[in-house]
Structure 1
């Protein structure tokens, strides 16, 4: 590895980033400054994903694209690396081999990805938006009368699970275990136990849908012509749920944080200079929900940008560092979707369309319902959860004038952990909602402004 920067432009003496591998697992509040220091060392930097688990972090945009677009050199199969780490390694549950499309190469990847994309394409976007809005109404109704709330615990943490549980035909008791397992894996806390909880819950779901198929993604995967085994089916679902719960929660929360704190949205949120979709683009550039991921493993020792990348050692793409590479610096990111937050190349996220729809609908819904909402603390006091992979706030406390929900808006509790409307996605599919303006459209913008003006009047 090449030498670090001069003392004037680099980290202080004694800093791990100055003397060796940076402890990425400690990354939290200081993340943007850390990425700046690491980039100063070059486009490839040694890091630790957990204590004594080395990896190479790609911090440059062009270098990241070069890795992501070369699946022959940079493979996704982690089994060579997996043999070198202990079974209790904190990051192993998130990185270990599973027969899913994310960790497959070549023909195996093409086969598994086909089943996933075909099944996701069958999801009706109008029905999906309708279910997001109904679920959001229920969650907002639970805290709107208090005049205060935590948009992480009260809203964004639960909403993606409600929606994805419906998409996958997942019963509430199984959904509760999925929440518990997924949170533990991303936080690398009790990771082995969390992995077992996740596996058992999804396997139960697979067996249920084999017996009782329905109009949901799990059933469509099970019926797909590629004939997935139970093991393969389970791991496609685990992958989609992993990408659609924790990262989607973070996208919603980070988008709301931007809308509530950025001066471009000062005053009436519906009268800001940027629309919700543009705010999502901004977040995907600057604070992607998965900050460091898209992990690959060289099949042989590789010389890359003057650095030797060892065989089977993880090469991690810093999506956050690459997206904010000074070579791409621009103050106008709205409408620009060349960021790497959905990855790139053959492993580009297959569910990005559904994820954007859910996030934009969730953000618009809570802003419409609570138009005078403000952060309860200064934005610099917000705390980020530590971890090598995600960019996740611990909480997002807000205050607003209490809103009394109209009678009949609430729905009964389905489980101890979550609530959802009684009407499911299948019922919504049979009765499509009337046309709604697209999120971020001019008409949607006018509709919110008019509604907020009428409330004030």
Structure 2
């Protein structure tokens, strides 16, 4: 699942596995074996049975025995972190309650108002050119900047988070990026403990679960990771569909219909949710050994022939794009609001958007966990970059730490040293102050 064959046509892999049963052996990366579940019913059996299938990857037998290369890129997504994704039982419940209670405090109207000026800011960066890459210029950057807003990041911390998280997902100098990400989040937590505000970081700190700084850091990493990649892919895939012949060039399909189509046919995360059986388990004739990874193919389960009728009608309750069971996505509603708002904003701003290459020439990013576009080149009539100021008239206010006159989070510039390079977030913070 790591070579060009899977990248070009993942469905053929799911069909080959399905030919042997509801699950089958795959190689996620060189030297990393797993069992991939492609049948919907079997996927639910695993996802909804935490007493038999654990999420704690410290159980991973091959990793513990040194049979998984320690430099394998797969470990960034599968190695244990003490957050909601990799914990079970009472520990998972405690962490999950803090996260779900925090999401419950998000106001969807305010969230939409947060997305709009960020979308307009990004559109302004390329609207005068008449051309753009809707993945890297828009769908990738929007969730990164939005998380900075939701987390209440001061300018310098937001710039650091944006750069380090982007580098982690792109596989660029991963060790350095991970260290910078950790340091930035620990600084943010320290600031919010002293100066709580109306933001996600402060809400997590204030939750009765009493999360430690380390626990807070790991939940924030999880929220950023679980939101960034899926959100980028959901926005990008839906825009691709709307602008393609299948979507009649943006005129024949509603945005909500495009999103439902994506969730069924090309879910933002195609394969993930590694579980580790507590004992050997028979998955329809395939034995998943104890403490070996069982990976759920959300894309494969969604394409299960048994779901043909539900898939054709785009039944929202049957697909597994949001997962299922105790580890199902807790941010479904915010994710939909973000995607719909981002897509509406750019289609309204640039109504004559058109793809510049045919579908068969589009490039897809390699990797076993997603079938995601590397780029989505478009053209349009150049327009003035004047949207941001108008959007700010209805934007939600910045947290106190980012208001004019608030104490700077960064250390003072030392004499003789150049000022740090300003990133998108610090520029956007200044614009929010207009």
Q: Same fold (TM over 0.5)?
A: yes
Q: Distance between the aligned counterparts of 1:234 and 1:318, measured in 2?
A: 28
Higher RCO (Cα < 8 Å, 6 or more apart): 2
User: How far apart, CA to CA, are the structure 1 residues paired with 2:3 and 2:274?
Assistant: 14
Partner in structure 1 of residue 64 of structure 2 = 83
1:88 to partner: Cα distance: 2.1
Greater Cα offset, 119-128 or 203-212? 203-212
Q: 1:42 aligns with which of 11, 21, 27?
A: 21
Gaps in structure 2 of 5+ consecutive residues: 393-420
Name the CA distance, whole Å, in 2 between partners of 1:190 and 1:44.
35
Q: How do 1:197-346 residues align onto structure 2 when only pairs under 5 Å count?
A: 197-263=180-246, 265-267=247-249, 269=250, 271-272=251-252, 274-330=253-309, 332-334=312-314, 336-346=316-326
Residues 31-430 of structure 1: pairs in structure 2 closer than 5 A: 31-81=10-60, 82-84=63-65, 85-187=68-170, 190-263=173-246, 265-267=247-249, 269=250, 271-272=251-252, 274-330=253-309, 332-334=312-314, 336-406=316-386, 409=389, 415-418=422-425, 419-420=427-428, 422=430
- How far did residue 60 of structure 1 move? 0.9
Count of matched residue pairs: 399
Instruction: Please give the alpha-carbon distance, in whole angstroms, between the structure 2 residues aligned to 1:24 and 1:333.
Output: 33
Distance of aligned partners of 1:191 and 1:41 in 2 relative to their CA distance in 1, 3 Å threshold: farther
Larger deviation: 169-178 or 114-123?
Answer: 169-178
Distance across 1 between alignment mates of 2:217 and 2:345: 32
CA drift of 1:396 comes to 0.4
Distance between the aligned counterparts of 2:170 and 2:4, measured in 1?
A: 9
Worse-superposed segment, 79-88 or 296-305: 79-88
Mapped contact 2:298–2:320 kept (Cα < 8 A):
yes
* 1:393-438 deviation digits (Å, cap 9, x = unpaired): 11100011111234874899x93245536476xx9xxxxxxxxxxx
Contact map agreement 1:90 1:190 (CA 8 A) in 2: no
Following the alignment from structure 1 to structure 2, what is the Cα–Cα distance between the partners of residues 122 and 284? 25
Stretches of structure 1 lacking an aligned partner (at least 5 in a row): 1-21, 428-457
Normalising by structure 1, we get a TM-score of 0.82
**1:330-363: per-residue Cα shift (whole Å, max 9, x none)?**
4634452421111101111111111111011001
Return the offset for 1:134.
Answer: 1.0
User: Could you give the per-residue CA deviations for residues 270-303 of structure 1, whole angstroms, max 9, x where no partner exists?
Assistant: x42x321121111011111111011111112222
TM-score normalised over the length of structure 2: 0.86
